[in-house]
Amino acid sequence: MDDKLNLTQEWDKTFPQSDKVDHSKVTFVNRYGITLAADLYKPKYAAGKLPAIAVCGPFGAVKEQCSGLYAQIMAERGFLTMAFDPSFTGESGGSPRYMASPDINTEDFQAAVDCLSLREDVDAEKIGIIGICGWGGLALNTAAIDTRVKATVASTMYDMARVNANGYFDSEDSADARYAKKAALNAQRTADYKNGSYVLGGGVADPLPEDAPFFVADYHDYYKTERGYHKRSLNSNGGWNTIGCMSFLNQPILRYSHEIRSAVLIMHGEKAHSCYFSRDAYAAMVKDNPYTDNKELMIIPEAVHTDLYDGGGKDAIPFDRMVDFFEKYLQ
């Protein structure tokens, strides 16, 4: 696939530009031939080969939101970083739009490592990744297959396979519930094929219903307000295609996480609705794994899910801990 991308040149992020970092647009191609768009952040006046970090997420967000913020701040701390849009979303290529895949999205992270590995200003032996929200689970999946990744941070993670198959809080974890979901999705596939277009599933609810659960209100407060809204963000607008995440239903992504040998830091807010994903993923990762000395679960007191998107106005993202972690394991 030869994607000709239309990359925005003006600064259109949800966070202010740093004067401590050089910013540029880059592209790279994954092994499915999809061209991905990224923002590269490099410490000003940096010389020589630098440790590098690829950043992505949240699931349904774009690089102008949380991943770019993480990337820019980590670049201020001395790392060369790259925040990218996944396949089929944002400024990246891939058609049809607004599709997700456990395989292709893991490949997106690996392709980012490909790109960083060949840069003359990167030490190819010192590459890490950061995944936010649903991309936290995909970051762990990448760490389980890509031995070039020396250190991984999963922030406020979702296991997208689990939530698609079992529903929120595992409330739909039955064969009958999954069958009903599959039947509805396959009926939608037929309708989409007949119509020649894909129906969007809808982004974050707006206006917010009075009886909305807290976690929905939490998402609304980020994606639908000046705090985090972006015109290219799926979550801020029409969402994924209704069938866009269908393949996660029977393709679990963390089957071999207990074989990860490289360093992993999983961090999550104590009050986040999604914290169970991180607690369970950590437990599964260290069970029967002989490489546990470099694994850590960090629970951040009082923080909710989106506090780890942008700090939540209370500096909830533990950047100092992340810097210490990457400095230790990207040596």
Read off the pLDDT of each residue in 25-33 and give the average, rounded to a whole number: 98
Is residue 97 over pLDDT 60? Answer: yes
Is residue 232 over pLDDT 90? Answer: yes
Is residue 203 over pLDDT 60? Answer: yes
204-209 long-range Cβ contacts below 8 angstroms, 24+ apart: 204/235, 204/236, 204/239
Is residue 1 over pLDDT 90? Answer: no
Q: Is residue 7 domain-resident?
A: no
Is residue 312 over pLDDT 70? Answer: yes
pLDDT tens profile 104-163 = 999 999 999 999 999 999 999 999 999 999 999 999 999 999 999 999 999 999 999 999
pLDDT of residue 4: 84
Is residue 3 over pLDDT 80? Answer: no
Q: Is residue 220 domain-resident?
A: no
CA distance linking residue 94 with residue 278, whole number of Å: 30
pLDDT tens profile 40-79 = 999 999 999 999 999 999 999 999 999 999 999 999 999 9
Q: Is residue 132 domain-resident?
A: yes
- Amino acid identity of residue 89, one-letter, is T
Q: Is residue 127 domain-resident?
A: yes
Read off the pLDDT of each residue in 225-242 and give the average, rounded to a whole number: 98
For residue 34, give the CATH number of its domain: 3.40.50.1820
Q: Is residue 31 domain-resident?
A: yes
Please tell me the total count of domains within the chain.
1
Q: Hey, is 135 helix, strand or coil? A: helix
Q: Is residue 29 domain-resident?
A: yes
Measured CA distances, 264 to 4, 39, 77, 251, 267 (Å): 35, 24, 19, 22, 10
pLDDT of residue 17: 98
CA distance linking residue 75 with residue 10, whole number of Å: 20
Measured CA distances, 146 to 141, 187, 199 (Å): 9, 36, 34
Domain that holds residue 99: 21-171+248-329
Read off the pLDDT of each residue in 297-316 and give the average, rounded to a whole number: 98
Q: Is residue 240 domain-resident?
A: no
Is residue 331 over pLDDT 90? Answer: no
Read off the pLDDT of each residue in 237-249 and give the average, rounded to a whole number: 97
pLDDT tens profile 272-294 = 999 999 999 999 999 999 999 99
Q: Is residue 221 domain-resident?
A: no
pLDDT of residue 2: 53
pLDDT of residue 252: 93
